[in-house]
């Protein structure tokens, strides 16, 4: 009988003791686990929190002991997600993400004209590393374009590996007598095609008309050679056979000018010379000559320019030719003291 009573007494006592002094399940900590998972914990029993994979300990205590009171102390433990490093930059492409935390996704894309070589999405793993390596944006390549008929390649930019890539250029020119229509330069486009390739068409110009007082030189590149002296060419020396089948220009030979006075001292090419001695042949088209006039009030001389335009030269109105007899007492205006600036035909 006694042993039975004693046993029940012992059990009851044990129960009372335990009821007041055990700890319940410990508080949950986000992204962390407790090493020993139980319903109740004995006084003095120690538990340790560990952050989940992909999270690291940020602050607070990890270890807690079930106290005599049976109430767990306030839990201060905090775990935060691990961060992966910025995976970029991606040349010729873009990177899209919200954050770089554990489990986050990063998306890659390429600019027009570039193709993604590699994976387009990577994920931050528990060890703080990305699950794959950064992809590359590789330029689109264009195959060799078809040559225009009667055309040749005049310039071709090749990229490493002897390929044409996005934005590379190729230029063409046509064989002699063929004119190029379209754009002489084509570009490798984002879709892997070349922009329009030009065409070469046969073009013939009529036999160039002869020019008055000159001749056409066909020997080299259909050149209009200088006019017969003393005619001078007005405009460029060369005329091109245009795509339209006509000549770019028809140059003309311009006539020289006779000086319409019999006697005068003039300024020509910076020198004072006598028309009757040195300019019997006149001057060439487009050349300029200065006549001297007299200012009677101030008794000084001034010069007035005049230009030869295709055989026409106008003598300034103020010029007075001095006759042979007058020259005995009249001074040539060219010999007078030059007038002060601003004094002229008054």
Contact status, residue 70 vs residue 20, Cβ threshold 8 Å: yes
Nearer to ligand NAG (CB atom), residue 66 or residue 188: 188
Q: Using an 8 Å Cβ cutoff, are 23 and 70 in contact? A: yes
Site for ligand NAG contains 186 (CB under 6 A): yes
The closest alpha carbon to 159, from 138, 137, 134, belongs to 138
Helix (H, G, I), strand (E, B) or coil at 334: helix
- Applying the rule CB under 6 A, the residues between 86 and 125 that interact with ligand NAG are 105, 119, 121-123
131 binds ligand NAG (CB under 6 A): yes
Q: Does 307 bind ligand NAG (CB under 6 A)?
A: no
- Applying the rule CB under 6 A, the residues between 193 and 252 that interact with ligand NAG are 193, 195
Residue 276 as a binder of ligand NAG (CB under 6 A): the answer is no
User: Among residues 90 and 186, whose Cβ is nearest to ligand NAG?
Assistant: 186
Strands 164-165 and 114-117: unpaired
In whole angstroms, what is the distance from residue 88 CA to residue 94 CA? Answer: 9
Residue 46 to residue 79: CA distance in whole angstroms: 20
129 or 131, CB closer to ligand NAG? 131
Do 164 and 141 form a contact (C-beta atoms < 8 A)? yes
One-character DSSP codes across 55-84? EEEEES-SEEE--TTS-PPPP--EEEE-BP
- Contact between 345 and ligand NAG by CB under 6 A: the answer reads no
Considering the complex, what minimum distance in angstroms separates the CB of residue 138 from ligand NAG?
17
Say whether residue 185 binds ligand NAG (CB under 6 A).
yes
CA distance 56 to 128: 10
Q: Determine the size of the site formed for ligand NAG (CB under 6 A).
A: 15
Q: Name the segment binding ligand NAG (CB under 6 A); options: 106-114, 184-192, 198-206, 285-293.
A: 184-192
Q: Which of the stretches 13-21, 73-81, 185-193, 243-251 binds ligand NAG when contact is defined by CB under 6 A?
A: 185-193
Binding site for ligand NAG (CB under 6 A): 105, 119, 121-123, 131-132, 162, 183, 185-187, 191, 193, 195
């Amino acid at each position: 009988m006694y042993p039975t009573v004693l046993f029940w007494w012992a059990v009851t006592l044990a129960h009372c003791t335990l009821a007041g002094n055990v700890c319940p399940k410990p508080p949950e900590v986000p992204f962390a686990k407790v090493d020993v998972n139980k319903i109740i914990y004995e006084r003095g029993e120690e538990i340790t929190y560990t952050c989940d994979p992909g999270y690291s300990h940020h602050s607070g205590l990890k270890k807690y002991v079930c106290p005599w009171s049976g109430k767990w102390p306030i839990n201060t433990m905090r775990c935060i997600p691990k961060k992966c490093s910025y995976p970029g930059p991606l040349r010729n492409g873009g990177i899209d993400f919200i954050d770089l935390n554990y489990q986050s996704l990063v998306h890659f894309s390429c600019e027009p004209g570039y193709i993604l070589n590699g994976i387009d999405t990577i994920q931050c793993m528990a060890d703080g590393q990305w699950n794959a390596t950064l992809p590359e944006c590789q330029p689109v390549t264009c195959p060799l374009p078809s040559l225009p008929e009667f055309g040749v390649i005049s310039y071709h930019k090749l990229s490493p590996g002897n390929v044409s890539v996005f934005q590379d250029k190729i230029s063409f020119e046509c064989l002699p007598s063929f004119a190029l229509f379209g754009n002489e330069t084509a570009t490798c486009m984002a879709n892997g095609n070349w922009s329009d390739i030009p065409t070469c068409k046969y073009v013939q110009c009529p036999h160039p008309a002869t020019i008055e007082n000159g001749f056409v030189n066909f020997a080299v590149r259909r050149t209009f050679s200088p006019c017969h002296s003393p005619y001078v060419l007005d405009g460029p020396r060369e005329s091109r056979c245009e795509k339209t089948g006509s000549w770019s220009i028809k140059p003309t030979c311009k006539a020289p000018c006779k000086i319409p006075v019999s006697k005068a001292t003039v300024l020509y090419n910076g020198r004072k010379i006598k028309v009757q001695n040195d300019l019997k042949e006149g001057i060439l088209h487009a050349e300029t000559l200065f006549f001297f006039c007299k200012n009677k009030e101030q008794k000084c001389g001034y010069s007035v320019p005049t230009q030869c335009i295709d055989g026409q030269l106008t003598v300034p109105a103020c010029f007075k030719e001095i006759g042979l007899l007058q020259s005995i007492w009249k001074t040539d205006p060219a010999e007078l003291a030059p007038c002060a600036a601003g004094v002229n035909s008054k």
